[in-house]
Amino acid sequence: MTGKTRGRGIAEGSAFMPLNACELEIDLFCHGLRVPEDVSLDGARGVSRTRAGLGSGLELAIPAGSRLKREIWVNAPVVEHFARLSPYRLAGGPAGYAIVDDRDASQYSVRLPLEPSWYPRLTSREVPMHRIGVLQGTYLAIYANPTCAFWSYSPPVNCKFCTTGQNVGPNESAVKTIQDVVETCWAAKNESGVTFVHLNGGFQGSRGLEFITPYVRAIKRQVGLLVGVQMSPEREFSGYDALIDAGVDHLSFCLELLDPQWFARICPGKARVHGQALYFSAMAHCINRMPYGAVSGEIIAGIEPVAKTLEAIDRITAMGAFPTVCIFRPTVGADMEEWPTPSYSEMRTVMEHVYQSCRRHWLPIGAAPNIEVSLVVNPDETALLAERTIGFYAYEAYRRFARVAAAAVFRRRMYPAA
């Protein structure tokens, strides 16, 4: 149960049932959140438009219940058109916030994480650190490479949901040196307790992996964080081998959509330059070289038919990767800005399937320490949606064991090597 204090939540098809923390997270992604002018956000993390533009919301942490002793982090859409029509409204103030569902006046207590004190600090090149990286949940997100090259085609062949081409430069530093990144990682580790930094880079021709590898090496040697890299796939797989040798802990591949026609329509650059097969073969190469559960396949739910999303989840888990599923957000400024948001009931079905599919393949989801991603429903959060069966309890026991067994390994990998 969440911090719901009274009344009843409304879930499509199951009216009057209170929402648990994961269900509320899904519904917030689908509906957004209204923030009335008289609600003070003093001290809270600002709304930042970075990376694919998905970080355009208000960061919230929803208590998942005293038994679970965890919070579910959500980057709730607040600036998009659809959020103005949301039944959800933020209430309260810095002394204590709640989300009110105006359909039935039910309330859920939430926490607004504070803006890190290191955000305005300057790197030695005099760049404010929040223009190098931002926290998204409990991890540090950095768009390290130059702007994704799909934006410089004429006409552009960018993914239609993306706004990276508008954000890199105006909202974050277009150039991020290794020293900028190392100094920002240090501040985030020391002052915000970050354990994981995610380096994202879009499409960089055949040079993206080569560009990012020295960043990974420097972070591993000088800072000691878990490092993830998300980049368009490259045909020369030796680039992945170099990255793995540099110490990368996680690699993710943004397939986005499984249906070939939807893929070509929404991701014209990816369809023209890569083709879907390359995503699977690059993923397979990395799965073979990395520990089980270290690779993920990222997809967007809420655009193609749900059956295809479920199929994509099954394909990814059958390979030995875990699925990262973004709920489609029609972000301001994106080509798909006017598209409708997905329905709660379909997205709940998708997330429930994430859990079942990970369970079927005994993926050790949630084993890494303190990685709460606010932009997506984390695979391990979907346990809150699962039916309580013997299989559920066996998998949960396995996940607990995996967490304990992996703790020493992660501790070692978070120790600076220099």
Beta strands in 146-220 (DSSP E): 196-202
Burial class (CB in 10 A: 0-12, 13-18, 19+), 47: middle
* Minimum gap (Å) between residue 50 Cβ and ligand SF4: 11
Is residue 150 close enough to count as binding ligand SF4 by CB under 6 A?
Answer: yes
Cα separation, 365 vs 384, in Å, equals 13
Q: Closer CB to ligand SF4, residue 279 or residue 322?
A: 279
Q: Which residue stretch of 8-16, 17-25, 159-167, 327-335 sits at the interface with ligand SF4 (rule: CB under 6 A)?
A: 159-167
- Is the backbone peptide bond immediately before 305 cis, with ω within 30 degrees of 0? no
Looking at residue 197, the DSSP 8-state letter turns out to be: E
Tokens of 345: 């009931």
Q: Which residue stretch of 41-49, 158-166, 283-291, 393-401 sits at the interface with ligand SF4 (rule: CB under 6 A)?
A: 158-166
Q: Could you say which of 2, 50, 232, 296 contacts ligand SF4 (CB under 6 A)? A: 232
Q: Which residue stretch of 71-79, 123-131, 156-164, 309-317 sits at the interface with ligand SF4 (rule: CB under 6 A)?
A: 156-164
* Minimum gap (Å) between residue 325 Cβ and ligand SF4: 15
Is residue 162 close enough to count as binding ligand SF4 by CB under 6 A?
Answer: yes
Q: Closer CB to ligand SF4, residue 158 or residue 341?
A: 158
Tell me the CA distances in angstroms from 397 to 56, 185, 347, 392, 403, one per residue in order. Answer: 36, 33, 26, 9, 10
Footprint of ligand SF4 on residues 169-208 (CB under 6 A)? 202-203
Burial class (CB in 10 A: 0-12, 13-18, 19+), 153: middle
What are phi and psi for residue 114, nearest 5 degrees?
-75, 150
Is 344 in contact with 26 (CB distance < 8 Å)? yes
* Minimum gap (Å) between residue 168 Cβ and ligand SF4: 9
Q: Which residue stretch of 157-165, 279-287, 291-299, 318-326 sits at the interface with ligand SF4 (rule: CB under 6 A)?
A: 157-165
Q: Closer CB to ligand SF4, residue 97 or residue 203?
A: 203
**Residue 29's closest CA among 399, 381, 314, 415?**
381
* Minimum gap (Å) between residue 24 Cβ and ligand SF4: 27
Cα separation, 138 vs 134, in Å, equals 10
Tell me the CA distances in angstroms from 152 to 50, 68, 190, 334, 395, one per residue in order. Answer: 18, 47, 37, 16, 46
How many residues form the binding site for ligand SF4 (CB under 6 A)? 10
Q: Could you say which of 20, 48, 107, 164 contacts ligand SF4 (CB under 6 A)? A: 164
Q: Closer CB to ligand SF4, residue 256 or residue 380?
A: 256
Q: Closer CB to ligand SF4, residue 108 or residue 253?
A: 253
Q: 3-state class of 97 per DSSP?
A: strand
Q: Could you say which of 50, 56, 107, 158 contacts ligand SF4 (CB under 6 A)? A: 158
Give residues in contact with ligand SF4 (CB under 6 A): 52, 148, 150, 158-159, 162, 164, 202-203, 232
